[in-house]
Amino acid sequence: MAAYIKQFSIPFSFTKRIKNLWLNLSIYQKMIIGYMLIVIMVVAVSIYTITILFKLNAISSSILSRDIALIDINKRMINSLLSQDRSKENYLLLGDEVFLNAFQEKKREMIKDLSSLERLADTQKERDEIEFFKRLYFDYTNVKEAADIDAQKIKNSRQIDDMIKTLEGINLYREGVINKKTENFKETGGNAARLSLIISMIAFVFGITFAFFVTISISKPIERLKQETTNIAKGDFNRRIDIDSKDEIGELAAAFNTMCYKLNELERLKSDFITNISHEFRTPLTSLKEANKLLLDGIAGETTEKQQRLLKIIKEEGDKLIKMINNLLDLSKMEAGMIKYNFVPSDINIVIEKAVNEIRLLAERKSIDLKLEIKDRLPIIPMDSEKIQQVMINLLSNAVKFTHEGGKIIVKAHTEDSNIYVAVKDTGIGIAKENLQKIFDKFQQVDTGINHKLRGTGLGLSIAKHIIETHHGKIWAESRLGKSSSFIFILPIKIG
């Protein structure tokens, strides 16, 4: 068993080594290696095909220039023999010189053909046959005055038969050679076609697989980088990408991770700084506020009307500063996960009504018509009432802040599917489309050109978003610039 495992551990470590080698290559090197392999395969197929074509060409030209030529000469020689025999017979019979001349003419041609035949014959068997034929032929061509014409005729015809048989034998043998060569031709061609097809298929499959892997190895990490960059853009710097390869993408991922780490560090430093500074500010500010109150109450002595006005301004600005610092502390605690949520089944109707009533006085001061419209009572849901109240107060005070005197604010709520929808709609200054998302980011205030007094901290909506998202809900804004704004949030009836 151990030996069996050992036997298989070698290829495993080998593939591991190949994988490591591959991971260490750059994309450029990977592409070059892949394409080189494909090119080598294509060149190998081409060289092999060309070699086979040469071989096939050699076979076909040897059939045409040797075998068929040899058979043709043989056939011509057979015809010539028959015509020589006729001339010889006539000459012996009639003694006419014309027949002797015709015979001699055919004999010259025959000798030429014989030498061509000797040149073309490439086997010992054929050469022996030709030698045998030559002997028969020269014996036959030795024309003498015949004493016994009949006996001579019989001898001639036997010789002719023997010669024709010899030539036909050579032909038969050559036809066999042609058959063999044709078979060889077919087999070589077929094998070559098969092998070329197999190598081409391998090259094709390899090419496709290679292209697939290279594309995947590039597009997959890029897709991850894209996703993670989107998360960074949303402000989540706690991201990491694990990519093993050491190629350009691997380097990009490593640079991305370093960037995330540094951004995270910066974010932490910023948060720590804000928390510390807020803490440091809060104590002296509270003392200032107390001292101011004592002055306003006249405990430290009588104050003139002018001094009272100035003390009131100090009080208002001090309150604003304390609110701002509290908001800053709240948000940094929320981001650090240090704020505890008290999720208990609660009546959101009461929370909304309470918030509306709290803001009513502020609205009346600006003669704003504040209405609450809840047709059907909303169900009890698990939530932290205080936090949702904080969201409502923020949305309502913004609505009052950004709505002109005599305007309208409507709070509507309803249940749809498994969510509760709450909307705070005003007829205020509105928000430009490009700022609808931005306003939920920290410290984002849109320059509306309105009274500077209306400017807050730019933290209220970020806190609201944090609270709603911790409740697994969603918050967004819709608006018609210069006409109206709606802030809508949804809360799930059941969490989880």
Nearer to ligand ADP, 72 or 369 (CB): 369
- The single residue among 351, 378, 461, 475 that binds ligand ADP, judged by CB under 6 A, is 461
The tokens for 78 are 């057979």
The H or E element spanning position 359 is helix 348-365
Q: Integer distance in angstroms from the first to the last C-alpha of the chain?
A: 51
Q: Is 456 in the site for ligand ADP (CB under 6 A)?
A: yes
Nearer to ligand ADP, 332 or 398 (CB): 398
One-letter identity of residue 489: F
The tokens for 92 are 């012996």
Q: Is 458 in the site for ligand ADP (CB under 6 A)?
A: yes
Selected range binding ligand ADP among 29-37, 86-94, 175-183, 393-401, rule: CB under 6 A: 393-401
**Sheet (strand 484-492) strand order:** 369-373, 408-416, 419-426, 484-492, 474-480
What residues contact 371, with CB distance under 8 A and at least 6 apart?
A: 408, 409, 410, 411
Q: Annotate 139-188 with DSSP letters as a single string.
A: HHH-----SSHHHHHHHHHHHHHHHHHHHHHHHHHHHHHHHHHHHHHHHH
Nearer to ligand ADP, 332 or 457 (CB): 457
The H or E element spanning position 489 is strand 484-492
What span, in angstroms and rounded, lies between the C-alpha atoms of 479 and 438? 13
Judged on CB neighbours under 10 Å (0-12, 13-18, 19+), 459 is buried
Judged on CB neighbours under 10 Å (0-12, 13-18, 19+), 383 is buried
Selected range binding ligand ADP among 287-295, 300-308, 340-348, 398-406, rule: CB under 6 A: 398-406
Q: Is 448 in the site for ligand ADP (CB under 6 A)?
A: yes
Nearer to ligand ADP, 221 or 428 (CB): 428
What span, in angstroms and rounded, lies between the C-alpha atoms of 400 and 411? 12
Nearer to ligand ADP, 74 or 394 (CB): 394
Nearer to ligand ADP, 326 or 448 (CB): 448
What span, in angstroms and rounded, lies between the C-alpha atoms of 437 and 150? 128
Which residues are paired to 308 by β-bridges? none
Selected range binding ligand ADP among 63-71, 84-92, 377-385, 439-447, rule: CB under 6 A: 439-447
Nearer to ligand ADP, 30 or 466 (CB): 466
CB 35 within 8 A of CB 142: no
Nearer to ligand ADP, 183 or 441 (CB): 441
What's the closest the beta carbon of residue 486 comes to ligand ADP, in angstroms?
A: 8
Nearer to ligand ADP, 77 or 439 (CB): 439
Cα atoms in the Cβ-side hemisphere of radius 13 Å centred on 136: 21
What's the closest the beta carbon of residue 28 comes to ligand ADP, in angstroms?
A: 49
CB 160 within 8 A of CB 81: yes
Residue with tokens 């001094």: 307
Q: Is 460 in the site for ligand ADP (CB under 6 A)?
A: yes
Nearer to ligand ADP, 345 or 449 (CB): 449
Phi, psi (degrees; rounded to nearest 5) at 251: -65, -40
Q: Annotate 365-407 with DSSP letters as a single string.
A: HTT-EEEEE-SSPPPEEEE-HHHHHHHHHHHHHHHHHTS-TT-
What's the closest the beta carbon of residue 261 comes to ligand ADP, in angstroms?
A: 29
- The single residue among 243, 339, 370, 431 that binds ligand ADP, judged by CB under 6 A, is 431
Q: Is 156 in the site for ligand ADP (CB under 6 A)?
A: no
What's the closest the beta carbon of residue 313 comes to ligand ADP, in angstroms?
A: 20
Give the gyration radius of the chain's Cα atoms. 54
Site for ligand ADP in 183-222 (CB under 6 A): none
What's the closest the beta carbon of residue 250 comes to ligand ADP, in angstroms?
A: 41
Selected range binding ligand ADP among 41-49, 219-227, 239-247, 455-463, rule: CB under 6 A: 455-463
Which residues are paired to 347 by β-bridges? 380
Q: Is 485 in the site for ligand ADP (CB under 6 A)?
A: yes
Nearer to ligand ADP, 240 or 483 (CB): 483
- The single residue among 81, 328, 355, 399 that binds ligand ADP, judged by CB under 6 A, is 399
What's the closest the beta carbon of residue 458 comes to ligand ADP, in angstroms?
A: 4
Site for ligand ADP in 410-429 (CB under 6 A): 426, 428-429
What's the closest the beta carbon of residue 284 comes to ligand ADP, in angstroms?
A: 23
Which residues are paired to 475 by β-bridges? 489
Nearest to ligand ADP by Cβ — which residue? 456
What residues contact 305, with CB distance under 8 A and at least 6 apart?
A: none
Q: Is 450 in the site for ligand ADP (CB under 6 A)?
A: no
DSSP 3-state of 138:
helix
Nearer to ligand ADP, 84 or 394 (CB): 394
Binding site for ligand ADP (CB under 6 A): 394, 398-399, 402, 426, 428-429, 431, 439, 444-446, 448, 456-461, 485
